[in-house]
Amino acid sequence: MLRILVAVALVSLVGSSTIPREKHRDPAALHLPSEDQAWAEKTLASLSLEEKVGQLFMVRMRVGLSGVRNPEYERISNSIRKYHIGSVAMSASPGARLLPSDHRYETVVMLNRLQTESKLPLLIAGDFEQGVLPARLFGTTVFPHAMAFGAAGKAAYAEEFGRITAQESRAIGVHWNLFPVADVNSNPANPIIGTRAFGANPEQVGALVAAYIRGARANGMLTTAKHFPGHGNTGTDSHLALARVDESARVLRTVDLPPFRKAIDAGVDAVMTAHIRVPALDPDPNLVATTSPAIVTGLLKGELGFKGIVVTDGLDMAGLTRLYAGHVGRAAVDAFKAGNDVLTMPADLDASYHAVLDAVRTGEISQQRLDASVLKILQAKASVGLHKVRLVDVAAIPKLVGSPANVATGQRISDASITLVRDNGKLLPLRSGAMVKNAALHQAGGPDPRPVLVVVLCDNVRAEDGRVLEREIRTRMPDANVVYVDPRVAPSRTDGVLKAVDQARAVVVAVYIVPSAARSRKLGRGGKHPASLPDSTSALFEKILGRAGEKTAVLAMGNPYLTDDFPAIQNYICTFSNVTVSEVSAARALFGEIPMSGRMPVTLSSARAQAEGSSLSAPVANVTLP
């Protein structure tokens, strides 16, 4: 069977919040060749009401499960058939990264099979924020998180990011990236945006967003700017609770909206709406941006002039579902009425589908409005050639993804992003031999025989954080002592770690904090803010700095704001990401093999910087794009 399958291979805003109407380039999907446009229109005319409603929905497909005939495949296949689904969003299961190589392309075989079974071609989407994920499943190129591109500061890098991700995505049968993030991460305590954003400077964020869009769209990929009207200045994860942005209309207009304008100018195909309350744009306490006609239709479509696809963030997120506890299907109706075209991952597909269907039948949603959205979706499918070719050649994938040149590009960009924030001049770079840089830190009488200690502070010692970093450090320093600590084991390991700190000639502390809904859930239950270190590992970190700060180098493998919570850090390197290329770059930087030429794309605590006489960050206004 596998061989056979492979072969088949707003209401307008008023007063000070009004944004002048601008002329923007429409998405390419609205300028189709006549034959492609004719297909979209003919197909629309052939669909039943039930099929039209089904085209609005995007459902999740967990990838990385072995075997075509598995429960996940059966679930998604049945949903497509029963509800006439229009789009599928790939997401990786935890086990996806552990599959043996001979199962590598089974997901692509599944996609081909789904395409074959579906009456209409399926738009396949992916949330590919660091390139095509999971990279180990598909053998694709790895890129660091978006904030690393802000540190590297070159639009050309973002364009390459878009180009390579598009080429490799299309090779595995994915047509639509739910990226780039156009949010401006102006709140250091943001638990879910953080390093997923390019930075805190609206001008720089907009330039990188536009560059990514250009590179991706030129190589056949649909793109999505998210999370409109801006999720950067909130301290709440909308996956878990109702988030709120309490900015004035003036701040929203000057900080949050400009990157979305840039995205629209660059021809972005879709804009994703956020489940956040924005009182300055819509004071109704029962509406989030996703369900607000003022924000979606009035602002995005009316004032900003966006003509492409408007797609919701996941309708199963608690930031929305808590408002619809008594009627979860109603969220889809309200989102569609607000102006969204694609309804993503509803909490209850059956209830949501029938709620929209009933709303059309009763006239609450007009047939004209439904047809307009379905036509956009069909045009998008035609724009990527799905009406002509649905399947991908599985045998060709190894030639099209993860080429040495592409892999080298991902590593080069990561290297260019490494940022030296603090350096006491006594430790860096580390030497691969038996000595550290400064003689004052050595034992008297010659080279110091004590090992270098590497402490990896992570959320789970069984996860992959730190493994590549350990390998890279041991390649250069075989006698390095590497210890992994997570919140669960920190209390029992603290005494042993501190003893090793005292005995080490130098200490490297690698701190892994990257935003995710899973991290928010885990830390939120313990009362700790998800953008910070948990209490037990935080206490250990404080003790290490207190007794060995002078000989300790701190690697921020993700969140760059550590110095705001730990001002005693003397040697501080930011990678802005925890992916493999960032770990390689971190090791190269530690040993002086690459220049640390990145500049901070966000602002750290200026008050503490001034108090300590240290330059914690380049002001975002000074970060330029060559």
393 is an active site residue = no
> Dihedral through CA 74, CA 78, CA 80, CA 81, nearest 10?
140
With beta carbons less than 8 A apart as the criterion, state whether 63 and 107 touch: yes
Q: DSSP class of residue 129?
A: B
Residues 6 or more apart whose CB falls under 8 angstroms from that of 464 comprise: 97
Instruction: List Cα–Cα distances, 280 to 231, 275, 283, 288, 313, in angstroms.
Output: 14, 15, 6, 12, 21
Beta bridge partners of 452: 506
- Going by C-alpha positions, the residue among 373, 255, 259 that lies closest to residue 311 is 373
Tokens standing for residue 266 = 């660059």
With beta carbons less than 8 A apart as the criterion, state whether 225 and 168 touch: no
Q: Return d(Cα 535, Cα 457) in angstroms, integer.
A: 12
Catalytic residue among 313, 341, 348, 448: 313
Q: DSSP class of residue 181?
A: B
Q: Return d(Cα 582, Cα 415) in angstroms, integer.
A: 7
Catalytic residue among 24, 175, 231, 239: 239
Alpha helices in 443-489 (DSSP H): 467-476
Q: DSSP class of residue 281?
A: T
With beta carbons less than 8 A apart as the criterion, state whether 111 and 124 touch: yes
| Strand 506-511 versus strand 571-574 pairing type | unpaired
Strand runs labelled E in 251-322: 270-273, 276-277, 309-312
* Residue for token pair 């039209």: 52
Residues 6 or more apart whose CB falls under 8 angstroms from that of 204 comprise: 150, 153, 198, 601, 620, 623, 624, 625
CA 141 to chain centre: 15
Tokens standing for residue 169 = 């995505």
With beta carbons less than 8 A apart as the criterion, state whether 512 and 459 touch: yes
Instruction: List Cα–Cα distances, 560 to 79, 182, 191, 467, 528, in angstroms.
Output: 42, 19, 13, 20, 18
Q: Return d(Cα 90, Cα 62) in angstroms, integer.
A: 6
> Dihedral through CA 210, CA 216, CA 218, CA 222, nearest 10?
-100
Tokens standing for residue 610 = 């001034």
24 is an active site residue = no
Strand runs labelled E in 93-184: 123-126, 176-177
* Residue for token pair 């095509």: 132
Give the burial class of 522: count Cβ atoms within 10 A of its Cβ; 0-12 exposed, 13-18 middle, 19 or more buried: middle
Tokens standing for residue 557 = 């493998």
* Residue for token pair 């001049």: 425
Active site members: 239, 313
